[in-house]
Amino acid sequence: MMKKVYEIIYSIVYSLFIFYETVNDFWNNLKKQSNNSITLEYFEEKGFECLKKKPNHITFIIDEEPSFKDLANLVLWCLIARISFVSFYDYRGVLEKNEEKLEIEINRIKQQNDYVLWHNRKSDSKNGIVGRKVHLKIITKADGKYNIERVCRELITKKESVSNISIEYVDKCLKEQFGFPDPEVGIIFSKIFSLFEYPPWEIRLTEFFRLNSHHNILFSEFVAVLDKYSKCNQRLGT
């Protein structure tokens, strides 16, 4: 008898959840349409001087099947915003295996004087670049806890004195492993707010924002996140 009651309650709760998701998606689509007056052409011409501050490194956390066209658009928008470092974290590893597809999409839409410098690739264009450039990195789970383990092993191998090991020293070692500055902004593309085991050391001061999906993402949504970050007051733990 109780099992039947639980099944009925579960069905009701599940139905309410589906109804909420449907209404929420419909409302978000309406907001997308109303905010679409923010055009790419306007910011290409005027720039992002209206923002009080911009991130040097923005990271995108993906909890869905990657849309290479939309991810390429995000890279292009970061180029326009003069954001120097962009990273994608796909904990499932799909993006890492299909990096070439992302590169093809980026090359298809970027301008001739736009340069995308892929992390851990040799490039003859790093010095003397005339035009917009962005450093791009795909982050995997191996860049997280495994990096901390690797640094610990190196400290043991080097037989570092305990007195020489400090937070600053470990921070320096981990930054060398990570290869990018810490991200100031993180955008999570997911139905839930989760970091999905993102490398923990690098996000101590990161401001996170959540969007349901990166599929068909609008430029206005990207600008809205930058605007929120520009206005936020970072207390840095105080």
What residue ranges do the domains of the chain occupy?
1-35, 54-121+128-140+181-231
The position carrying tokens 């840095």 is 236
Sort strands 85-89 and 57-62 into parallel, antiparallel or unpaired: parallel
Backbone angles phi, psi at 168, to 5 degrees: -65, -40
Residue pair 67/217 in contact by the 8 Å Cβ criterion: no
pLDDT tens per residue, the chain (238 residues)? 666 766 677 677 767 656 666 555 555 554 554 444 456 666 666 667 778 899 999 999 999 999 999 999 999 999 999 999 999 999 999 999 999 999 999 999 998 889 999 987 766 555 667 788 999 999 988 776 666 667 677 776 766 665 666 667 766 666 666 778 899 999 999 999 999 989 887 888 899 999 999 999 999 899 999 999 998 876 555 4
The burial class, CB within 10 Å (0-12 / 13-18 / 19+), for 192 is: exposed
Lookup: tokens for 68: 């290479």
For the 54-121+128-140+181-231 domain, the top CATH level (class) is alpha beta
Looking at residue 213, its pLDDT comes to: 95
Residue 30: the pLDDT is 45
